[in-house]
Amino acid sequence: MDVSTLDKEKGANISGTDRGKVVMYGLSTCVWCKKTKKLLTDLGVDFDFIYVDKLEGEEEDQAVEEVKRFNPSASFPTTIINGKKAIVGFKEKEIREALGFKGKLG
């Protein structure tokens, strides 16, 4: 899904250091989604985020199908890295390692 075609409250690109193609699918009301988005922002990586609950019709269907390819239960957040690895939930250590960072923030 091309976030550049979405209204800003539905999704956007957060610019930063290129660590591969990173897409975070979440819900606008989900605290774990907000934590994951903040982590990615704090790490300074370039990533797209998409709030699936803000989408409608074909856009929503497309986003849900993409999430289900990696996470059949379609739970959120689902962070997809390079179209290969999916991290389901707020898993700071796993996200950091997948993006080439070591240790915890701070």
9 within some domain: yes
Round to whole Å and give the CA distance between 23 and 81: 7
Within-domain flag for 45: yes
Mean pLDDT by 10 residues, the chain (106 residues): 77 92 96 97 95 94 94 95 95 94 65
Chain centre distance of CA 50: 7
- Residue 19's domain comprises 3-89
- Residue 65 counted as domain residue: yes
Specify if 100 maps to a domain. Answer: no
Query: Could you give the angle at the alpha carbon of 16 between the alpha carbons of 3 and 62, nearest 5°?
Result: 20
d(CA 2, CA 4): 5
Q: How many domains does the chain have?
A: 1
CATH code at 65? 3.40.30.10
